[in-house]
Amino acid sequence: MSNGPIQEASVALPTNFRPPQLAVIVPSYNERGNIELLYEKVALALGDTAWEMIVVDDNSPDGTADVVNELSRVYANIRCVRRFGRRGLASACIEGMAVTAAPYVAVIDADHQHDETILPQMLAEALSGADLVVGSRFAEGGSAGDGLSEARLSGSNLANRLAGMIAGQAVSDPMSGFFLIRREAALEAAPKLASDGFKILIDLIVTSARMGKPLKIAEVPYTFRPRHAGESKMNPLIVIQYLGLWVSKMTGGALPPSFLLFGLVGGTGVVVHLATLWFFTSVLIQGEVVSQTTEFLISQIAATMIAMAWNFVLNNNLTYADRKLKGRRLITGFLSFCAICALGGIANISVANAIYQWDHQTFVAGLSGAIMSSVFNYAVTRAFTWK
């Protein structure tokens, strides 16, 4: 074996096997009833093209991965990447793209909502020079069909308008989950993409542009279909994750995407803190068990502990849902979270104090302290607690 680039095969390949030109990535979570028919439909659509299907499954409880493995025993061009203890559509797509050598990758939902028959046309657009080809419901000739409810359609319109503000170029369906991209272009942006939520396409477009490599985009219209089997995984958290990405891009990346959610959780933590403080002081006063000073001290300690536990649980389940701590790591994570927040508290008080010394503006000083500690807590817990 030489050490130069590999030029040609030196072992015999099984008959009929050709290296794929196109990898079709299918993110899946509880899609057991959809995979086999999807494979068949894509196979029919792609005909003679050398292609492979990579299903990236987050260890679905319904056993989707087993179904994929059954298929792999029959067809050489399908395999399953199974992830444990992780969730997320965007990161699933990125990891799917990372495990193929095909020069072009397409992302398609498992539930048959996307029209696979346009895949050859999408590939043709890419072969004639587009970096990214978007399957679009809103381009001339496309339609959202019966695939979106009334509420989802208006939500989708709003999301599209927000996306338009950050996209930097015209895209009719920036929230599409159906697209084909040059693998190299996708992998260049990959390290900078947000791993949570559903917004991978808009993220790819904006991130590539910000890296000085704007994607040349083409669109192919199609009609969105109703889901075949199973249920949608869309939920309010995914909406907030999208808004987080939007805020991040609007601030030129100054605020990371998960900061919005971390901040919102912090806001609810303040409410929990004050409510607990009120509850404890009124209960303790009623009982007249201790002196007023001791009473406030005890209540404040209790309120701080409860608010920290509240923030930790919410951040673990929402902000960092894709890397949720479990078991023993839940305990060590909570301890590190508390320790970091205590340091954040010190930072808060010192900054507020310094500003107050300099200019006696209570509100400004207080706010600066609070901002200081939120940024500190965010950055440090991200690096240590949810690394």
Distance CA 121, CA 264 (A): 43
Distance CA 183, CA 180 (A): 9
**Which residue number, 176 or 311, has a Cβ lying nearer to ligand GDD?**
176
Token pair 């990405």: residue: 245
Segment lying near ligand GDD (by CB under 6 A), choices 83-91, 331-339, 350-358, 359-367: 83-91
Work out how close the CB of 112 gets to Mn ion at its nearest, in angstroms, rounded to a whole number. Answer: 9
H/E run at residue 28? strand 22-28
H/E run at residue 23? strand 22-28
Are 196 and 88 within 8 A, CB to CB? Answer: yes
How big is the site for ligand GDD, counted in residues (CB under 6 A)?
22
**Which residue number, 198 or 337, has a Cβ lying nearer to ligand GDD?**
198
**Which residue number, 134 or 380, has a Cβ lying nearer to ligand GDD?**
134
Q: Which of 113, 299, 315, 316 binds ligand GDD (CB under 6 A)?
A: 113
Q: Which of 57, 111, 173, 322 binds Mn ion (CB under 5 A)?
A: 111
Token pair 């404890």: residue: 280
Q: In degrees rounded to 5, what are phi and psi of residue 255?
A: -105, 125
Q: Tell me which residues in 10-29 interact with ligand GDD (CB under 6 A).
A: 27-29
Segment lying near ligand GDD (by CB under 6 A), choices 53-61, 274-282, 284-292, 331-339: 53-61
Q: In degrees rounded to 5, what are phi and psi of residue 71?
A: -65, -40
Are 137 and 224 within 8 A, CB to CB? Answer: yes
Q: Which of 46, 53, 54, 56 binds ligand GDD (CB under 6 A)?
A: 56
Are 261 and 241 within 8 A, CB to CB? Answer: yes
**Which residue number, 230 or 344, has a Cβ lying nearer to ligand GDD?**
230
Token pair 């310094």: residue: 354
Does residue 81 sit in helix, strand or coil?
Answer: strand
Query: From the list ligand GDD, Mn ion, none, which binds 277 (C-beta under 5 to 8 Å, kind-based)?
Result: none
Are 25 and 108 within 8 A, CB to CB? Answer: yes
Q: Does 215 bind ligand GDD (CB under 6 A)?
A: no
**Which residue number, 52 or 95, has a Cβ lying nearer to ligand GDD?**
95
Q: Does 113 bind Mn ion (CB under 5 A)?
A: yes
**Which residue number, 41 or 183, has a Cβ lying nearer to Mn ion?**
41
Number of H helices and E strands in the chain, helices first, is 12, 7
Q: Tell me which residues in 29-48 interact with ligand GDD (CB under 6 A).
A: 29, 31
**Which residue number, 27 or 333, has a Cβ lying nearer to ligand GDD?**
27
Burial class (CB in 10 A: 0-12, 13-18, 19+), 222: buried
CB atoms within 10 A of CB 309: 15
**Which residue number, 210 or 233, has a Cβ lying nearer to ligand GDD?**
233
Query: Maximum distance among all alpha carbons in the chain?
Result: 87
Segment lying near ligand GDD (by CB under 6 A), choices 109-117, 215-223, 266-274, 310-318: 109-117
Q: Look up residue 335 and give its two tokens.
A: 């301890």
Helix-, strand-, coil-residue percentages of the chain, each rounded to 5: 55, 10, 35
Q: Does 52 bind Mn ion (CB under 5 A)?
A: no
- For residue 185, CA distances in Å to 20, 92, 161 come to 17, 17, 25
Q: Which of 99, 124, 234, 270 binds ligand GDD (CB under 6 A)?
A: 234
Query: From the list Mn ion, ligand GDD, none, which binds 282 (C-beta under 5 to 8 Å, kind-based)?
Result: none
**Which residue number, 176 or 315, has a Cβ lying nearer to Mn ion?**
176
Q: Which residue of the chain is nearest ligand GDD when measured via CB?
A: 177
How big is the site for Mn ion, counted in residues (CB under 5 A)?
3
Q: Tell me which residues in 147-206 interact with ligand GDD (CB under 6 A).
A: 156, 175, 177, 198
Distance CA 59, CA 30 (A): 9
* Footprint on this chain of ligand GDD (rule: CB under 6 A): 27-29, 31, 56-58, 87-89, 92, 109-111, 113, 156, 175, 177, 198, 232-234
* Footprint on this chain of Mn ion (rule: CB under 5 A): 109, 111, 113
